[in-house]
A and B are shown apart, each in its own frame.
Chain A
Amino acid sequence: MLGLNKKDATLLIVVAALTLCAPFILNPFPTGSAMAQFNAGYPDLMQRFIIFGIFAIGFNILFGLTGYLSFGHAAFLGVGSYSAVWIFKLFTYNVIPAITLSVVVAAIFSLFIGFVSLRRSGIYFSILTLAFAQMSFALAYSVLSNPKFNLTNGETGLQVYADDPQWFHRDSLPDLPHLFGLSMRSTYSLELGAWRFDFNAGYYLCAVILMIVFYLAIRIFRSPFGMMLRAVKSNQQRMNYTGLNTRPYTLAAFVISGMYAGLAGGLMAAMDPLAGAERMQWTASGEVVLMTILGGTGTLIGPVLGAGFIKYFENIFSKINDTVLHNWFAFLPDGIEDFVVFIVHPFIGKGWHLTLGLLFMLVVIFLPGGLVEGGQRIGRLLKGKKKAPDSEDPEHHPKETPHVAE
C-alpha cells in the first residue's frame, strides 16, 4: 500500500486510526466522574499531542538516524510560529499560507544553522546548536523588538491586533485562524449518556498533517537516503572511504528535521495565533530530546508516543492538587491519610517534573530502546508462550542493538 511493505502499512493504519479516534480514546471517563480529570480528550491538549508528535518525528530523523544530537531544535519551532503569525497579521487568517511559510522559513534557517553546526560532530555539534538556539531566543526576546524594528514583540509575544493590515481578510471570514472559512476553534460536541466527546476542526487539521508527515518519515526511513543516514551514525570513516560525502547527507537530514519543527511551530500558531520567545528557549529544545529518547530513538512510532506521554504528564499530572489527593485517600484513617498525601504531594501538581524525571530514569536504565522496546518486550513475552523456543534462530534473527545506550 502506498509503496510501503505490510508492516509499515499496518503501522500507518494504526496511527491513522488512533489519531482519528483520539477524541473517543482519550475521553474514557464520563464527564463529572471523579476520574474525569484523567480525560485528555479536550481540543487544546489533543492538538498539543499531535503538534509535539510532529516535532519529535522530525527530530528523530536527525537524531535517530544520524545520531547528531541537536539541542537547538526549538529555534526552528519558534521561527515557524513567528512566520505564521506574520502571515496572519499582514495577509490572511487562512492557515495554509501561514503553515507553508513557516516550513519554508524554518528550512532556510536550519540550512544556515546546520551548515555551520555540522562542521563539528558529537558534543561540539550539540553545543553549537544550543548556542544558536539561545542566540535566536535572545534575538526574539529583546533585540528584534525595539520600537524602530519590531519583528517579535519581545516579552509580550507576537499577536494579531485589530489595526493590523490583513490585506486579504474579508468580513465574512472568521476572525480567527481558519481553513477556507472553517474556524480552527470550531468544535462539535457529541453527548453520549454521561460521556462527552469533542471533535475540533483544528485537531483534525493537525491529525491529517501528522498522517502525511508520518508517512513521509516512513518513506525516508526505508529509502536509500535513510540507509545512508544510518551509515553516518554507524561509521563515518567507512563512508568517506566508500566514496560518500557525509556532509550533504547530514545537512539534508538537519534541514528536513528543521522543516518538521517549523511545521509544528506553524501549526501551533494556527491553533492559537500567538508566538512567544519562550518557545525557542533551551528547555523547549531539551523537551523534544526527552520525548524522542523516552519513546524510542530511531524507531518510527517512538517519538509520537514519547510526545504524547510527556504532554499528558504536563497537562494532567500538573492538575492534581492536595484536595484531589485527600479525596482519593479519604478511606484511610485521618493520620495516615495526611501522611500519604504528604508523601505523594511532591510528585503532583507543580512537582510533575519530578515524576517525569523518575520515569525517564527508569526508562533509560531499564528500557534503553524507550517505550517501544517496552512494547516489544511485552509482545515477545506474549508470543514466547505460544511459540516453541526452537523457532528462534540466533543467526538469522540477531538481537537488535539498542539505539541509545551506545
Chain B
Amino acid sequence: MGILDVKNVNKNFGGLKALSNVNLSVRENTVHAIIGPNGAGKSTLLNCLVGKLIPDTGSVMFDGKSVLGRSPYEINQMGISRVFQTPEIFGDLTVMENMMIPIFARRDGAFRMHAYESVANESGIIERAEQVLEDMNMADKRHMHAAAMSRGDKRRLEIGMCLSQEPRLLLLDEPTAGMARADTNNTIDLLKQIKEERDITIAIIEHDMHVVFSLADRITVLAQGTPLVEDDPQNIKGNPKVREAYLGESA
C-alpha cells in the first residue's frame, strides 16, 4: 500500500486507448518517476490523478481516499500539489503575493470571504511566505512582478508555492521541459534538496533521463498506455523491454 494507489485505470478518447490497465503504487517518502516515450499516456495519467480527467474505469486512491470525481481544488486540499509543464503562476501579481496565496488556501480552505481585513496585517502568512522565499533563494525578488522573471525562476517560484502548502504528494509534470542546461541542473539540485530536507513524496513525469536517474528512487515505464516495468533505477537502465520501447526494435 503506497500513499497513492492507481488500480486498473482505463481511459479512452474515442477510439484511442490512452491508458489501459494502469497499476501504480507510489510509496511514501520516495521519488517515483514515470517515464515513457511520447504518447505513452504520461500526461493523461497525471490528469487523472489531479481531477482534470476522470478515468473510464479503475480507482485512484490517495491516502486511503478516492480522488475520483473531485475537482482539482478539492484534491489539492487533500494534500496533492501539482507543478505544471509550463510554469503556472500569477503573472500579474508580485512574487510575494504569489507565495502568499497558496498559504492562504491552506489556512482558510477553498473559499473565505475575508474582504475587510488587510493583507498587511496577516503577519503569520507574511512570515511563512518570506521563509519559503528564503528557502527558495528568492527573497531578493519578492517585489518583482512574477511575469517579469526568467523561466527558471518561474519554475522555482511554482515549486516554492507548492511546497509552501506542505503537500504530502508533489506532482511534477516535466519540470525541466524546454529549459537550458544550467536551469535544468538548478532544478535538479533544488529537487534533491527538497527530497533530503523534507518528508515528502514526489511523483515526477519526465523525458530527460539525466533528471530521472539523478532523482528517482523508483521508476515506472509507460508505453502505449500500459506500464511496462516498475523497478529500481539501476535495473531499468539495462532492461531490454525499456530499450525497445524507447529506441525501437533495431536497438
Contacts and interface: CB of A to CB of B under 8 A. Distances in A.
Interface of A: 3, 5, 219-220, 222-228, 230-231, 233-235, 237-245, 248-249, 252, 256, 395-398, 401
Contacts of B102: 242-243
Given A228-B104, A231-B90, A234-B91, A244 B119 contact: no
B88 A241 contact: yes
B116 to A, nearest CB: 5
B145 interface: yes
A234 B110 CA distance: 18
A243 B89 contact: no
Contacts of B13: none
A396 B144 CA distance: 6
Interface of B: 50, 71-73, 76-77, 81-82, 84, 88-93, 97, 100-102, 104-106, 108-122, 140-141, 143-145, 147-148, 161, 165
A234 B90 contact: yes
Contacts of B144: 395-396, 398
Nearest to A238: B88
Contacts of A230: 90, 92-93, 97
A89 B168 CA distance: 62
A244 B82 contact: no
A227 B76 contact: no
Given A222-B118, A230-B92, A235-B90, 9 more contacts: A222-B120, A223-B115, A224-B108, A225-B115, A226-B119, A228-B104, A241-B82, A242-B102, A243-B105
Secondary structure call for the A interface: helix
B90 A223 contact: no
Contacts of A220: 115-116
B125 to A, nearest CB: 8
Contacts of B122: 224
Closest 8 CB pairs of A and B: A243-B76, A245-B110, A225-B115, A243-B105, A234-B90, A234-B92, A248-B111, A238-B88
A219 B118 contact: yes
30 contacts: A5-B120, A219-B116, A222-B118, A223-B115, A223-B118, A224-B108, A224-B112, A225-B112, A225-B113, A228-B104, A231-B90, A231-B93, A234-B91, A234-B92, A235-B89, A238-B89, A238-B90, A239-B73, A241-B84, A242-B81, A242-B102, A242-B165, A243-B73, A243-B106, A243-B110, A243-B165, A244-B73, A244-B111, A245-B111, A401-B147
A196 B130 CA distance: 57
A248 B109 CA distance: 12
Contacts of B145: 398, 401
B93 A227 contact: yes
Which among A234, A248, A252, A396 has the highest number of chain B CB atoms within 10 Å? A234
A242 B120 contact: no
B147 A240 contact: no
A237 B73 CA distance: 10
A396 B140 CA distance: 8
Contacts of A245: 71, 73, 110-111
